[in-house]
Structure 1
Amino acid sequence: MEDVKLQLDEKGHGHFYISDEEEQVAEMVVSISNGLLTVYHTEVLPKAEGKGLAKQLLTAMVDHARKNGLKVIPLCPYVHAQFRRRPADYADVWNGSDQ
Structure 2
Amino acid sequence: MDIEHHIDGSKGKVTAKIGIGPLAEMTYSAAGERLIIIDHTEVPDVYRGQGVGLAMVEYAVEMARESDRSILPLCPFAAAQFRRHPEWSDVLNRSASKGEAG
Which TM-score bucket, shorter chain as reference? 0.7 to 0.9
- Contact 1:71/1:94 (CA < 8 Å) preserved in 2? yes
- The runs of 5 or more residues in structure 1 that have no matched partner are none
Superposition deviation, residue 85 in structure 1 = 2.6
Backbone CA RMSD of aligned residues:
1.6
**AA paired with 2:84?**
R
Q: Distance in 1 between matches of 2:28 and 2:12?
A: 6
**AA paired with 2:17?**
S
The answer to whether structure 1 residue 29 and structure 2 residue 30 are counterparts is: no
Q: Distance in 1 between matches of 2:85 and 2:20?
A: 34
Matched with 2:71 is 72
Superposition deviation, residue 43 in structure 1 = 1.0
Count of residue pairs the alignment pairs up: 96
Q: After TM superposition, what 4+ stretches of structure 1 lie above 6 angstroms from structure 2?
A: none
Q: In percent, how many aligned pairs have the same letter?
A: 32
Q: Distance in 1 between matches of 2:19 and 2:84?
A: 33
Compute the TM-score of the two structures, normalised by the length of structure 2.
0.83
Q: Distance in 2 between matches of 1:24 and 1:30?
A: 20
Q: Distance in 1 between matches of 2:84 and 2:45?
A: 24
Superposition deviation, residue 21 in structure 1 = 4.7
- The runs of 5 or more residues in structure 2 that have no matched partner are none
